[in-house]
Amino acid sequence: MNAHWGAVVVAAGRGSRMGTAESKQYLPLHGKPILVHTLELFQAMDEIADIALVVGESDVERCKGLVMEYKLSKVTAVVAGGSERQHSVYAGIKSLSPAAEWVMVHDGVRPLITKKAIRACCEKAEHSGAAVLAVPVKDTIKQVDDSGLIVATPDRRSLWAIQTPQAFRRDLLTSAHERAVAEHFLGTDDAMVVERTGAPVAIAEGDYTNIKITTPEDLPWAEFLLEKRMERGE
């Protein structure tokens, strides 16, 4: 990673699948909110110059307090997200320092991402203009129609499960988002927003432990993985 990188950490969702009154990004993981673990990792990376944190409008002041409490000096902006994740990402991009020529987007509830994986994704992006972290799909995947009948079995060798961070040249990502807004397009991730412009997006192989904490079953698994890393001194 030789470029000036900014990071957009997205944590504006409510996370209804977790089934808790508290939003999942603020649930405790080994004594700290999940979101803080994520931010501390990016804070510790020399390659990352500044971080834009995007949260729900009602959580902005709360998160500014967390930034102060945990001395997250690289978080230079805490901004309110939009009605869709895509809108939140765009708000985060705009709030980064103008000096950040490259930007990565990461889910706030993926606290087990590693520096090695982040660097692999960013290096791939610096070579191709855009890259996403992903892992090969282990299971056989079936395509099913509306009536619940299997219509196709894609070749597993061509399938990858997409993670974050996703990394891009900033001007490319910005123009892709602006086009999406103009055309009222909503994608499921930032790569999809860029793909539709015709720009190539490369894959950087990630790690199966880079889980997104979404359901109650994910929390004990994340605790276990984190404890194992701590035992190894990571």
232 vs 193 pLDDT, higher one: 193
Q: Are 64 and 136 in contact (CB under 8 A)?
A: no
Task: Quickly state the pLDDT bin for 4 (edges 50, 70, 90).
Answer: confident
Mean pLDDT of 53-68: 96
Domain boundaries, the chain: 5-231
pLDDT over 90 (residue 77):
yes
Q: In angstroms, rounded to a whole number, what is the distance separating the alpha carbons of residues 43 and 192?
A: 27
CATH homologous superfamily, domain 5-231: Spore Coat Polysaccharide Biosynthesis Protein SpsA; Chain A (3.90.550.10)
Mean pLDDT of 137-165: 96
Which CA distances in Å does 102 have to 50, 125, 154, 186, 193? Answer: 11, 9, 34, 22, 16
pLDDT over 80 (residue 152):
yes
Mean pLDDT of 4-20: 80
pLDDT at 2: 65
pLDDT at 206: 96
Mean pLDDT of 199-227: 95
Give 33's DSSP letter: E
Q: How many Cβ atoms from other residues are within 10 Å of residue 47's Cβ?
A: 16
Q: Say if pTM beats, i.e. exceeds, 0.85.
A: yes
The kind and range of the H/E element at 232 are none
Strands 75-80 and 48-55: parallel
Task: Quickly state the pLDDT bin for 183 (edges 50, 70, 90).
Answer: very high
Mean pLDDT of 18-33: 84
